[in-house]
Amino acid sequence: MAEATWGEGSMSPNIDWRMSASLANVPRGESDLAEVASLQRAVRDWLGLDPDHKAAATLTTEHPLRVGGATSTTFSGEAIAALAEQLPHADPTDA
């Protein structure tokens, strides 16, 4: 099996807001279960959290993203906030 590498030219500058993403370490009723949704929905859900839960939350994406010069599939804190700044306007088809 070959290992994937991610260089400067290998990533699209556009974010696929419909890719799957999970938002973990946030309250879901009686527990803190991760929920899988679109990246757009997960980031919007993160925006609605209180500051303590925003700080504890972890966002994991289906594909690597470049945020603030770093490429990863796992984001927290300021990296999620940077994604939130790039959110498109509300999309009624977003689930």
Domain span at 58: 18-85
Tell me which residue of 33, 23, 36 sits closest to 80, measured CA to CA: 23
| pLDDT tens track for 35-94 | 789 999 999 999 999 999 999 999 999 999 988 788 999 999 999 999 999 998 765 454
Number of domains, the chain:
1
Residue 25 counted as domain residue: yes
Residue 24 counted as domain residue: yes
DSSP codes, 15-78: --TTSEEEEESS-BTTB---EEEEHHHHHHHHHTS-HHHHHH-EEEEEEEEEETTEEEEEEEHH
Residue 95 counted as domain residue: no
Stated length of the chain: 95
Decide: pTM greater than 0.85.
no
**Beta bridge partners of residue 74, listed in sequence order:** 60
